[in-house]
Amino acid sequence: MTVIGWIQIFLYCAIVIALVKPLGGYMTRVFNGERTFLSPLLRPVEAGIYWIGGVDEKREQHWLTYTVAMLLFHVGGFVIIYALMRLQALLPFNPAGQSAVAEDLSFNTAISFITNTNWQNYGGESTLSYLVQMLGLTHQNFLSAATGIALAVALIRGFSRSSMRTIGNFWIDATRCTLYVLLPICVVYTLFLVWQGIPQTLGAYVDATTLEGANQTIAVGPVASQIAIKMLGTNGGGFFNANAAHPFENPTALSNFVQMISIFALGAALTNVFGRMVGNQKQGWAILAVMGVLFIAGVAVAYWAEANGTTMLSSLGLTGGNMEGKEVRFGIAASSLFAVITTAASCGAVNAMHDSFTALGGMIPLINMQLGEIIIGGVGAGLYGMLLFVVLAIFVAGLMVGRTPEYVGKKIEAREVKMAMLAILVLPLMYLGWTAVAVVLPSAVASMANSGPHGFTEVLYAFTSATGNNGSAFGGLTGNTFFYNLTLASSMFVGRFFMIVPAMALAGSLAGKKSIPPSAGTLPTTGGLFVGLVVGVILIIGGLTFFPALALGPIVEHLAMNANTLF
């Protein structure tokens, strides 16, 4: 570890924190339906969409209607992506002449993008046409992100409203998020990325003759416009197979730094939206503090592990940390930091290959995802995931003192705790369950690229990433097989919707309750005690759930790595 490395990390945290208030304030105005400085330009477009879509701006929705609207939106998105992939050979914008994508891979990819996972069983530049990248994937990068944010705002309204039957209108939330938040930032961001060197062209792949006379085909495309929303919307699906390690997706140290900031920006700001909407910004800062504690701990371990390298490297006299799978322009510090950020948020973009990380360096991303990606988390998804843990922590605290627990003026009762537990328990069921199935099926074991405990970790990582809607991978695993295409798709689906529906039920039940003023017996939820309590509950629940699986994978591999036992 170096001083410069740590300066990069702290500079990063400082900038993310500085953005929380301004972005939070702006987003609060957007979701309260107020005017913003972009209204003169965008309001006519917005009103036009409601007019032809038949959306009544004055009508709000019951939580069930809100959820059904959201689900219908996803069904449509699925149909569009699936159809485009199957038909891409017949459609325009296909200079590389890509042929139709197979049924199971199309199915997996469509599920992957509507759930904001962006798991890549396909290699972008070798599989997809420009049209699919734009109309299929770029559009869903926007809409799955907008959906996540809309749902988080709906849950916040559940906390902030008193005795109401409705929690907002899904169509309005999704449209306003897309038009006022995501698009304007992406337009500026895309130009910045092109300036840094990311291609943005509809031209064909370039044939170059290298200095030594060999032929090199260089894949290009409309890359920058997709990378902007891929990062901002914590989607993570790359234009290219190597994702953000590819020099055309992430050409410079500056593009890397800004991409890392954009992964966290909206998710961190949503904690401030929460604080503002429930009437006390300190509530938002307390949640951000919980996230911050877990984040810094993860960065410290991952950076330390990668900078230390492995016994295999040191026995050959190689020093300078574990550079296998990493890019020179990023080095150890920015690669470790990126890995922790991308899995803390449910982004899943990678600027280094996690499969080649050291045992503990690769375990931190795994833990981040297994905790439910609540450290900032996916845009929206992180906040509602964290609020589920908060409900649980408040419940535990209530049990300890023997009072009905309450949070920001709402009594937390049996229904809320049941919904929170349902959402939290369904995740390990998917990733532990499918991992157990995969390691006893010979055909599934054959997909592992590495043997020994590392091979097990590859499988565990795949199902964890899919369930958490992350999309990063231990990329050695051959995921494009019938078994993995279907089981990973089922993990992504359950991980997304079995979390969303209980969260929305929670929103509906909270909105219907009366707000009660704090009394002498109320646990203050803005101080260090509360932060410590939530961190503790997260680590205990998470630890008990997945520690045994980690012991079989990264922990045993760490011991083997130190002894230089090879597989």
Instruction: Specify the residue, 317 or 517, whose C-beta has the smaller distance to other proteins.
Output: 317
Strand runs labelled E in 348-497: 406-407, 410-411
Instruction: Specify the residue, 356 or 469, whose C-beta has the smaller distance to other proteins.
Output: 356
**According to DSSP H, which parts of 371-401 are helical?**
381-401
Instruction: Specify the residue, 177 or 290, whose C-beta has the smaller distance to other proteins.
Output: 177
Contact yes or no for 554/454 (Cβ under 8 A): no
Q: Which stretch binds other proteins (CB under 8 A): 6-14, 272-280, 429-437, 492-500?
A: 6-14
Is position 323 an interface residue for other proteins (rule: CB under 8 A)?
yes
Is position 102 an interface residue for other proteins (rule: CB under 8 A)?
no
Beta strand 215-218 with 206-209 is antiparallel
Q: 280, 324, 411, 497: which one contacts other proteins (CB under 8 A)?
A: 324
Instruction: Specify the residue, 274 or 330, whose C-beta has the smaller distance to other proteins.
Output: 330
Instruction: Specify the residue, 210 or 519, whose C-beta has the smaller distance to other proteins.
Output: 210
Is position 337 an interface residue for other proteins (rule: CB under 8 A)?
no
Backbone Cα Rg of the chain? 23
- CB 400: neighbour CB atoms within 10 A? 11
Q: Which stretch binds other proteins (CB under 8 A): 45-53, 262-270, 279-287, 341-349?
A: 45-53
Is position 44 an interface residue for other proteins (rule: CB under 8 A)?
no
- In sequence order, the β-bridge partners of residue 222 are 200
Site string for other proteins, 241-260 (x = CB under 8 A): xx--xxxx--xxxx-xx---
Number of residues that bind other proteins (CB under 8 A): 128
Instruction: Specify the residue, 268 or 305, whose C-beta has the smaller distance to other proteins.
Output: 305
Beta-carbon-side half-sphere exposure of residue 231 (alpha carbons within 13 Å): 29
Contact yes or no for 105/122 (Cβ under 8 A): yes
Q: Which stretch binds other proteins (CB under 8 A): 409-417, 468-476, 482-490, 532-540?
A: 468-476
Q: Which residue has the tokens 């699919």?
A: 132
Contact yes or no for 69/171 (Cβ under 8 A): yes
Contact yes or no for 253/330 (Cβ under 8 A): yes
Report the site for other proteins in 172-231 (rule: CB under 8 A): 174-175, 178, 182-183, 186-187, 190-191, 194-203, 205-212, 214, 216-220, 222, 224-226, 229
Report the site for other proteins in 295-314 (rule: CB under 8 A): 310, 312-313
Contact yes or no for 186/232 (Cβ under 8 A): yes
Contact yes or no for 277/157 (Cβ under 8 A): yes
Structure tokens at 228: 């902007």
Site string for other proteins, 392-431 (x = CB under 8 A): ----------------------------------------
Q: 98, 234, 356, 525: which one contacts other proteins (CB under 8 A)?
A: 356
Alpha-carbon distance values, 426 to 330, 370, 423, 491 (Å): 37, 12, 6, 10
Is position 18 an interface residue for other proteins (rule: CB under 8 A)?
no
Distance CA 443, CA 40 (A): 58
Q: 40, 54, 402, 548: which one contacts other proteins (CB under 8 A)?
A: 54
Distance CA 110, CA 119 (A): 10
Distance CA 564, CA 553 (A): 16
Q: Cβ of residue 63: shortest distance to other proteins, in angstroms?
A: 13
Determine the residue type at 295.
F
Q: 28, 82, 116, 136: which one contacts other proteins (CB under 8 A)?
A: 136
Q: Cβ of residue 64: shortest distance to other proteins, in angstroms?
A: 8
Is position 321 an interface residue for other proteins (rule: CB under 8 A)?
yes
Q: Which stretch binds other proteins (CB under 8 A): 351-359, 372-380, 511-519, 541-549?
A: 351-359
Instruction: Specify the residue, 286 or 334, whose C-beta has the smaller distance to other proteins.
Output: 334
Alpha-carbon distance values, 253 to 218, 249, 262 (Å): 22, 12, 14
Structure tokens at 202: 């509809």
Is position 501 an interface residue for other proteins (rule: CB under 8 A)?
no
Q: Cβ of residue 263: shortest distance to other proteins, in angstroms?
A: 16
Is position 47 an interface residue for other proteins (rule: CB under 8 A)?
no
Q: Cβ of residue 327: shortest distance to other proteins, in angstroms?
A: 5
Distance CA 105, CA 79 (A): 14
Instruction: Specify the residue, 73 or 463, whose C-beta has the smaller distance to other proteins.
Output: 73
Distance CA 248, CA 519 (A): 57
Is position 487 an interface residue for other proteins (rule: CB under 8 A)?
no
Instruction: Specify the residue, 67 or 470, whose C-beta has the smaller distance to other proteins.
Output: 67
Q: Which residues contact 301 (CB under 8 A, 6 or more apart)?
A: 360, 361, 364
Can you tell me whether residue 77 is helix, strand or coil? helix
Is position 8 an interface residue for other proteins (rule: CB under 8 A)?
yes
Q: Cβ of residue 334: shortest distance to other proteins, in angstroms?
A: 7
Q: Cβ of residue 39: shortest distance to other proteins, in angstroms?
A: 17
Site string for other proteins, 71-90 (x = CB under 8 A): -xx-xxx--x----------
Q: Which residue has the tokens 């140290």?
A: 253
Query: How distant is the alpha carbon of residue 421 from its chain centre?
Result: 21
